[in-house]
Structure 1
Amino acid sequence: MAYDGILLGMGNPLLDISAVVDEGFLERYDVKLNNAILAEEKHLPMYDELATKYDVEYIAGGATQNSIRVAQWMLQIPGATSYIGCVGKDKFGEVMKKSSHAAGVNVQYDEDETAPTGTCAVCVVGGERSLIANLSAANCYKVEHLEKPENWALVEKAKYIYIAGFFLTVSPASIQLVSEHAAATNKVFSMNLSAPFICEFFREAQEKAMPYVDFLFGNETEARTFSKVHGWETDDVPEIALKISQLPKVSSTRKRIAVITQGADPVVVAEDGKVSLFPVILLPKEKLVDTNGAGDAFVGGFLSQLIQEKPIEECVRAGCYAANVIIQRSGCTYPEKPDFH
């Protein structure tokens, strides 16, 4: 099987500015733990404060880019993955490009001259994280970049495409173009619920994309928000996963599979009218460094096996393995080689 460019991701490339902070810092900027939000005016001074007063790490991030990097790491086949998104024409953009190429991902960034590269403040307290994304250039992605022959060639080459829900806030037109292509050519198209605010405030764009989605990922909080928004009146995660899997679908060649993670509780997989639960690898509290990127890593691990046409239980096992590695390290980083067998 040819793996060259088999998996394509599209999303918001962000440089993670990661630091361990205290409760006071979160209170000062009105930030809740274990949440993902877009930066508002009141959050903007936070980035400077992190960089000057805390011990920060800069890590290439953004949800989709994290998943693609983890899939690439699990595969250990250079060039198996590609990624499209928008960065600024600046130092942070260069840092990200270097880091992605070093990881073996073929990145094709749209370089915007008017906005700086997007950043994400990763505030870690007691191993739990909160994400505040300042999209900047990531918000400037244009469908015209996707339509350029050299970039569209990546879409045509890919057999599996993954886009986190965060990209719905930036370029629904790009998602529509790619999802329609996937349905027409029988490719596997996957998305992620990504955050409660996406389900609440970008419901229309999400509903437009959903009929094209073959694999839908999310966590229990996002699933419950999705249920609430759709008036399903249930908080039961297996029931919600089942309902999501049964939403209308454009292509009938494969049934939708919903995969919902629940932290330390079992992973819920709903397909073809049935729900399966898969235990995760439990980690002693003292080994937890930070949960940033755990969900992204799960998706990356899952996709690394899916593109090899492994059964769902193997995909889940690889997802759990990758997430377990990532939460024992700072940010979405990993050792040189995986020891997944």
Structure 2
Amino acid sequence: MIFFDRTMEYLQDIYAKVIGYGSGVINYNAPRKVVAFGNVLLDHTAQLPNDETELLERFQIPAESKGELDAEILAKLAAEAAERAQLDVNPGGSALNTVRILKQLGTDALFFGAVGEDKTAEKLKEILQEREIETRLVTVNDVPTGQCVCIVNKDTKAKALYANIGASAKLSVDHLRKAHYDDTQPFLRPIERKQILYIEGFFVPQRQEVCDFIVRNYIKERRRLAINLNAEYIIRDNFQPLRQLVRAAFFIFGNRKEHMTFAAELGFDTIEAAAKHVIEEFNTPKVIVVTNGRECVQLITNIEDEYSMPGEIAFQSFHVPRVDEVVDSTGAGDAFVAAFLHAWLEKRSLTECVRVASDVAAKVVTVVGCNLP
């Protein structure tokens, strides 16, 4: 009878979330289980055939690369790409992608970021409102809203992804303090309740003070820090602040190249040696996840579940689902993070978290942009 009652309560909660039915009442002012900090961008994605590589060559952009561009140059790239193919326009940025997928999976999350006072911001807010994605967007004058352009080669699947973060760089500690003391819109759960604060690697440059503030003031007890390494150049150019985030993080995500770059900066030849050093040096619970495209996912951790004390380090490798037709790998890593955190918050085992995340990422790569089909 107890089991039946609990099952009915669970189903009523699900009904309440999906269609507003049941005894549960949704409080939209309640703090979310995931709070994400990152660059908010308006994404423009174009798929071009192999015989149109001239566009990237003229802008001196490698077919398989990522980085940052001057705002005017980025705008020209987007305009010329639009002349050759229809652009898919979406809210973008690594952490915002993760928040979007979390929403689709059924875990409400909140995104913190900054935008300019321009038409790009208006378009972004319009899309975010339509999709009911919760954000706290600070408006910054005299700085354009960030944008991103992704050129995908239809034939080779090579991807050139370039951004200008614009106003995102202006999110400050003062903005967080103001949000923190706004009693009408609390975003932190009590420290004894499970909550994940997520920081994307792209957010670290120019905002080390903000990252330090988050770690120092928000991360304690059941409030866990999750980070994404995001890009090799971010790691090389911002190694020390990233290392401090790794020190405080419970979850550390990244692909094999990113983890290899971090290992090299630490002075190690392998990911395994670097991970072992990080876990032993800080002697805190850590879940290190290494994705490797269609090859495998590696899990390195010193815990079995949320309540475990740090123990022996375990190294596990998992096969990933086969995808016959990869359309666009943009945001696959962001979707993987979303699904992993979603499963963790649903009290799944770490093994199940990896499998759920791999399945979701496999679906995302079958469509353009970071979207679930």
For the aligned pair, the TM-score class normalised by the smaller chain equals: 0.7 to 0.9
**Aligned residue in 1 for 2:91:** 60
**Aligned residue in 2 for 1:257:** 287
**Aligned residue in 1 for 2:32:** 5
* 1:112, distance to aligned residue in structure 2 (A): 1.4
Separation in 1 of the partners of 2:316 and 2:360? 20
Match of 2:214 among 164, 167, 178: 178
* 1:156, distance to aligned residue in structure 2 (A): 4.3
1:225 and 2:261 are equivalent in the alignment: yes
Structure 1-normalised TM-score?
Answer: 0.87
One-letter amino acid matched to 1:263 = G
Report Cα offsets for 1:269-315 as digits up to 9, x if no partner.
Answer: 1012111111111111xx21111111111101111111222111121
Match of 2:225 among 189, 193, 215: 189
Structure 1 residue matching 2:330: 3-state secondary structure: coil
1:248 and 2:248 are equivalent in the alignment: no
**Aligned residue in 1 for 2:122:** 94
Separation in 2 of the partners of 1:54 and 1:4? 41
With over 3 angstroms needed to count, the CA separation of the structure-2 counterparts of 1:246 and 1:61, relative to structure 1, is farther
**Aligned residue in 2 for 1:339:** none
Separation in 2 of the partners of 1:210 and 1:15? 28
Match of 2:339 among 292, 301, 305: 301
* 1:50, distance to aligned residue in structure 2 (A): 2.2
Q: Which stretch of structure 1 is more off in the superposition, 104-113 or 19-28? A: 19-28
* 1:241, distance to aligned residue in structure 2 (A): 4.0
**Aligned 1:12-27 pairs, distance under 5 A:** 12-21=39-48, 22-27=52-57
**Aligned residue in 1 for 2:322:** 282
Separation in 1 of the partners of 2:318 and 2:281? 23
Q: Is residue 62–residue 160 contact of structure 2 (8 Å, CA) maintained in 1?
A: yes
Q: Is residue 327–residue 366 contact of structure 2 (8 Å, CA) maintained in 1?
A: yes
Structure 2 residue matching 1:60: 3-state secondary structure: strand
**Aligned residue in 2 for 1:338:** none
Q: Is residue 192–residue 217 contact of structure 1 (8 Å, CA) maintained in 2?
A: yes
Separation in 1 of the partners of 2:128 and 2:348? 26
Separation in 1 of the partners of 2:103 and 2:276? 30
Higher relative contact order (CA 8 A, sep 6+): 1
Structure 1: gaps spanning 5 or more residues: 336-341
**Aligned residue in 2 for 1:113:** 141
One-letter amino acid matched to 1:174 = V
* 1:153, distance to aligned residue in structure 2 (A): 2.5
* 1:4, distance to aligned residue in structure 2 (A): 5.2
Separation in 2 of the partners of 1:227 and 1:65? 27
Structure 2: gaps spanning 5 or more residues: 1-12, 14-25, 303-312
User: What is the RMSD computed on CA atoms of the aligned residues?
Assistant: 2.3
One-letter amino acid matched to 1:230 = L
Q: Is residue 94–residue 331 contact of structure 2 (8 Å, CA) maintained in 1?
A: yes
Separation in 2 of the partners of 1:265 and 1:238? 17
**Aligned residue in 2 for 1:163:** 199
Separation in 1 of the partners of 2:371 and 2:92? 10
Structure 2 residue matching 1:154: 3-state secondary structure: coil
**Aligned residue in 1 for 2:163:** 133
Separation in 2 of the partners of 1:244 and 1:36? 27
With over 3 angstroms needed to count, the CA separation of the structure-2 counterparts of 1:178 and 1:265, relative to structure 1, is same
One-letter amino acid matched to 1:202 = N
* 1:88, distance to aligned residue in structure 2 (A): 1.6
* 1:41, distance to aligned residue in structure 2 (A): 7.6
**Aligned 1:267-278 pairs, distance under 5 A:** 267-272=297-302, 273-278=313-318
Structure 2 residue matching 1:169: 3-state secondary structure: coil
With over 3 angstroms needed to count, the CA separation of the structure-2 counterparts of 1:230 and 1:137, relative to structure 1, is same
**Aligned residue in 1 for 2:248:** 212
One-letter amino acid matched to 2:282 = P
Separation in 2 of the partners of 1:280 and 1:145? 40
One-letter amino acid matched to 2:123 = V
Q: Is residue 237–residue 268 contact of structure 1 (8 Å, CA) maintained in 2?
A: no
Q: Is residue 258–residue 271 contact of structure 1 (8 Å, CA) maintained in 2?
A: yes
* 1:150, distance to aligned residue in structure 2 (A): 3.0
Structure 1 residue matching 2:188: 3-state secondary structure: helix
Q: Which stretch of structure 1 is more off in the superposition, 151-160 or 51-60? A: 151-160
One-letter amino acid matched to 2:335 = A
One-letter amino acid matched to 2:188 = V
- How many aligned positions are there? 324
